Structure 1
């Protein structure tokens, strides 16, 4: 009788696909930010690279994981350079607003994919659940944080009040719970990514915003 369990070789392939799709989505967000700031070609490539690779690199540093995921898949660097060159050739100021609106949805997909993939990588290294979840959030969020810091602005993940890191956090816990309940790893990763992406998409669609913390004093008091 054939073994009904999923092929364990599928998970590494899935994680590679997950990171590739998320990397493209986040690289595009970095390109748009760099273009708005009127950076030169080097600045565009650096900001796009930080957005695409920053969160995963920080995760790999914290987990002492080598080689870094973009070193292991060096072709992604060529893809990033090609994307930057193409964007600088065809993107103009009039394209920024519609492109930014359209990019919210791939960005939501990248958030879900990176949070699920980062959490699974940490779990595979034997990290406790809470540490793995935080590694998933770092993977999903900190590329955008580094992008915004380099562009001299408060990171949007901390300031626009739309749930972002919260969505990654919930999605990562969905992965932990699904694995604890015996769900196959591949299905659990896909479920977690879908939950995080769905929550972010729902927040964008409804324009739901988290309340701002207030100390009870106006800034000019």
Structure 2
């Protein structure tokens, strides 16, 4: 077997044996990749969700699982793992990624986006809008950017992915501020301030949009936790 190296963002881990783990990463070169890390549980290593690691591994062409030889943190993130709210957001984001990044093969733009957002989360102080910022950016990178047919659209057709003035069976009424927030966030501008209630509406509408376009997208548990901790609404 040939030794390989890659950068990976940890999105899932589970026990494989009494001493080993199966780790799933989104990697820079190979996209979604899973590995056995032998002895990881006995070594009691600090392995964090959304940690960005330098990986050295072996992988047979016929095997779905690689074998990690060594892994080291590539970036010294600290706030993410010491701030309880940021840790909860890490689990939420990892849950989203497990359900959206299902195709093998590297995508440099998605990896760059994830790396930048993780680094932003580490230093960001106001976390209220971060879930919305992340989800709008991710859905754009996945190729599901909605279109705005009219400047003053009153409905969001979730099936067609269109903000429009025409009501349809799959459309939801959106007030002016919610439409404006979603539009600016989809365009990558986050400086404008919106009411917290508007952010709540925007987030729920966006999750409904994900559920239509991403097969089997269900984040009820992790979403409920961030609602309780960041938003305190049911």
TM-score (norm 1): 0.26
Of Structure 1 and Structure 2, which has the larger fraction of its residues in helix? 1
* Greater radius of gyration (CA): 2
Of Structure 1 and Structure 2, which has the larger fraction of its residues in strand? 2
TM-score (norm 2): 0.25
> Using CA pairs below 8 Å that are at least 6 residues apart, which structure has the higher relative contact order?
1
